[in-house]
Amino acid sequence: MLVLCLAMIGDSSDGEDFEQLYYKYKNRVMSISRRILQNDTLAEDCTSEVFFSLAKGFSKIKSLEEHKLDYYIFIATRNTAYNLLKSEIHNTADCEYDDTIGISNQELSGYDKMFLQDCIKKLKKDEQEILYMRVSMALEYNQIAKALGTTNATARKRF
């Protein structure tokens, strides 16, 4: 992700300044994102979006005083996290897992079936939904992403 941000900036001196900013704030941005989103995958997405946004407007923010930059990054992270959370809540399909679909008793022994069902129940709800859509409904990642209101990359990561 850092490489993409640096490519967006272009100028080598600005690139070095952005790299310092990235290493200084990446843990803080990730921590704030995790606290709000309660999901590591979404927190990673949020962190990426925040730094892409910072890279786009780096020429405007690079001259800010440190306390103003801290505040700016905090607000950008908070707003991005709440937007992602709102998007996830709004776009998440209410898809119940049906353990009778896709598993034939002839294909699996009783123990194997119980083991798989137990493993699936341990997954987070969004991971169960993606597994169900991908395996049982045979949807492609772009269809899953569209149904859940996320990106193809996010759907692939969660699968």
In the chain, % of residues over pLDDT 90: 28
- Options 1.20.272.10, 3.40.50.150, 1.10.260.40, 1.10.1740.10; CATH of 2-91: 1.10.1740.10
Domain boundary assignment for the chain: 2-91, 110-158
Within 10 Å of residue 65's Cβ, how many Cβ atoms? Answer: 8
Decide if 125 contacts 93 (C-beta within 8 A). Answer: no
- pTM greater than the 0.85 cutoff: no
Quick check: 157 pLDDT over 80? no
Average pLDDT of the chain?
A: 81
Exposed, middle or buried: residue 133 (CB in 10 Å: 0-12, 13-18, 19+)?
buried
Quick check: 97 pLDDT over 60? no
CATH architecture under which domain 110-158 falls: Orthogonal Bundle (1.10)
Quick check: 24 pLDDT over 90? yes
Can you tell me the distance from the alpha carbon of 63 to that of 35, in angstroms, rounded to the nearest whole number? 29
Residue 142: pLDDT band (50, 70, 90) is: confident
Q: What is the DSSP letter of 100?
A: T
Average pLDDT over residues 52-80: 91
Residue 95: pLDDT band (50, 70, 90) is: low
Higher pLDDT pick, 132 / 100:
132
Quick check: 152 pLDDT over 70? yes
Can you tell me the distance from the alpha carbon of 40 to that of 33, in angstroms, rounded to the nearest whole number? 8
Q: Token match 């991908």: residue?
A: 134
